[in-house]
Structure 1
Amino acid sequence: MRKKTVIGAALMIGLGIGVLRGNKSVKVTHHEIKNEKIPSSISGYTIVHVSDYHNTLFGKNNKVLVDKIKENKPDLIAVTGDLIDSRTTDLDVAVLFMKEMRKIAPVYYVSGNHESRIPEYAALENRLKEIDIEVLNCRMTIPNEELDPIYIYGVQDPAFARRNSRESERDIMKNQLDSLPQYDHKYTILLSHRPELLDLYAEYSFDLVLSGHAHGGQIRLPLLGGILAPNQGFFPILTSGMHHMNDTAMIISRGIGNSAFPLRVNNPPELIVIKLFPET
């Protein structure tokens, strides 16, 4: 009996160590997108997608995470919300991370639901603008006039308006999307924290949507995937990877950090690298 107890304890300790290491080991996931709207002149254009950072540190000044981003030589970095954690807000950590990324490439940011909960959000947005971060809350921009075919859109997380409105989050999002200009012959990328609204994004025919929020389902089981995600409940579908609806592709990040539940299981932090190519 004693031997079995020792073996059981050793297995539990080993499992615990594995889980802790997994929470600090960033996995890089690569995706390729081919589309006839992407010109050959920018073939291989690289986007690094970061989501749900939640004030998490990976080495001093986030050197581990920043170095992984730098290794992939992005032309553009997209940050899709929950840069901070509303329970342990640290604007300095968040801004420093964004500042280090801005040294690598232009950074485009939209808010998440955690930003909607903090009284310091206006200060955060101002500090991001001061370090030349493009805040795309209900805006459209062209990253580079030479890249005219690529238009970047961003929407503010609907939780901001939900506090003072009886409208559903879906209706709030629809109002934002209605206000954005549409370009049929351009390659359009939407940054939105919420993946569960994929069918709505598809109605507006965005070519590519980048989202997060679901944390990969937090605990992932083989064959079944994520266990639980906000706004999707148990055994959600839209937690990670690439999904398609009509002509719209969505790539969902499992995120970098954690929030209320402090651990990931079989679900390492994820950095996404996307390369764009013309359809041949």
Structure 2
Amino acid sequence: MIDKPDEYTFNQRLINLLKNLQAKQAKLWIYGNHDHGGYGTEVIKNVMTKGGFQLLQNSHHILEKNNDRLLVAGIDDAILGRPNLEKAIMNSNPDLFTILLAHEPDYADTASQYPVDVQLSGHSHGGQVRLPFIGSLYTPKYAQKYIDGKHRITKKLTLYVNKGIGTTRLPYRFLCEPEMTLYTLEQQIS
């Protein structure tokens, strides 16, 4: 969420903004490498908890509407955390449609070995600085194989990598538009 969270001055205004975000079912989040970095793990967790968000750190949450259910699992950051997908989906129904929140997109190769239908990731910033015919000049560790967009990993698993709205290392983007994605889930009638 924030680079160097141990140096950022969090205040009630940010917490109020987070509280005012409305969700019918749940407000869920996972750690990314910058959240754990800079000694910000507990600071970020405190702000997000006060903002009404539930941390999925190697755990899951079941969303229900009428008689329909789906599972949202989240793992800890792959670089600075201790991701454990097996623990995240433990005691869950493997037949439920499962969405995995995993910060680093290259984790999809591991997720493909589990009953996961969709993995949502970020981390790459879409490459942030891209050149025609060359593509991204730099992508971070665990975002080198899948940089942006939709990828079919296996017959079952689809990965979507969001380019995000911020920057890292370099304070600008070039030929890499910021992105916020809205998904609408629809029941598939068979």
SS at match of 2:159: strand
SS at structure 2 position matched to 1:124: helix
Instruction: Output the CA distance in 2 between the equivalents of 1:196 and 1:124.
Output: 24
Based on CA coordinates, which of the two structures has the bigger radius of gyration? 1
Aligned to 1:40: none
How far, CA to CA, are the matches of 1:238 and 1:257 in structure 2? 18
* Partner-residue secondary structure (3-state), 2:184: strand
129, 150, 158: which one aligns with 2:78: 158
Aligned to 2:166: 257
Alpha-carbon distance, 1:97 to partner: 4.6
Q: Is the 8 A contact 2:73 2:99 kept in 1?
A: yes
Partner residue of 1:132?
Answer: 52
Find the counterpart in structure 2 of residue 115 from structure 1: 35
Q: Which amino acid aligns with 1:138?
A: N
Q: Is the 8 A contact 2:16 2:51 kept in 1?
A: no
Q: Choose the corresponding residue for 1:208, options 115, 118, 135.
A: 118
- CA distance change for structure 1 residues 270 and 90 in 2, over 3 Å: closer, same or farther? farther
Q: Distance in 2 between matches of 1:147 and 1:240?
A: 34
Deviation >2 Å, runs of 4+: 87-100, 102-106, 118-121, 143-149, 158-161, 220-227
* CA displacement 1:211-249 (0-9 Å, x = unmatched): 00001011123454323110158xx44111111111101
The secondary structure found in structure 2 opposite 1:210 is strand
Cα 1:104–1:150 change in 2 (3 A) is: closer
AA aligned opposite 2:50? E
Matches of 1:259 and 1:199 in 2, distance apart? 25
Give the helix-richer structure, 1 or 2: 1
**Aligned equivalent of 2:147:** 239
Report 1:119-198 matches (<5 A): 119-144=39-64, 146=66, 148-161=68-81, 172-173=82-83, 176-180=84-88, 181=90, 182-198=92-108
Is 1:229 the counterpart of 2:139? The answer is yes
Contact 1:91/1:124 (<8 A) preserved: no
Deviations 1:42-62 (A, max 9, x none): xxxxxxxxxxxxxxxxxxxxx
Q: Percent identity?
A: 25
| 3-state SS in 1 of match to 2:110 | helix
TM-score scaled by length of structure 1: 0.58
Distance 1:179 1:215 in 2: 28
How far residue 126 of structure 1 moved from its aligned partner, in angstroms, is: 2.2
TM-score w.r.t. structure 2 length? 0.83
Q: RCO higher in 1 or 2 (8 Å CA, sep ≥ 6)? A: 1
For structure 1, list consecutive stretches of 5 or more residues without a partner in the other structure.
1-82, 162-171
Answer yes or no: is the 8 Å Cα contact 1:142–1:148 preserved in 2.
no
Cα distance in 2 between the residues matched to 1:251 and 1:90: 32
Distance 1:153 1:147 in 2: 20
Q: Following the alignment from structure 2 to structure 1, what is the Cα–Cα distance between the partners of residues 28 and 67?
A: 15
Higher percent of residues as strand? 1
Q: How many residues are matched?
A: 183
Q: What CA distance in whole angstroms lies between the structure 2 residues aligned with 1:154 and 1:256?
A: 21
Do 1:84 and 1:90's aligned partners in 2 also have CA atoms closer than 8 Å? no
In the alignment, what sits opposite 2:8?
A: 89
Mapped to 1, the partners of 2:9 and 2:168 lie a distance apart of 13
State how 1:1-150 maps to structure 2 within 5 Å.
83-86=1-4, 89-92=8-11, 95-100=15-20, 102-103=21-22, 105=24, 106-144=26-64, 146=66, 148-150=68-70
Contact residue 98 and residue 128 of structure 1 kept, 8 A: yes
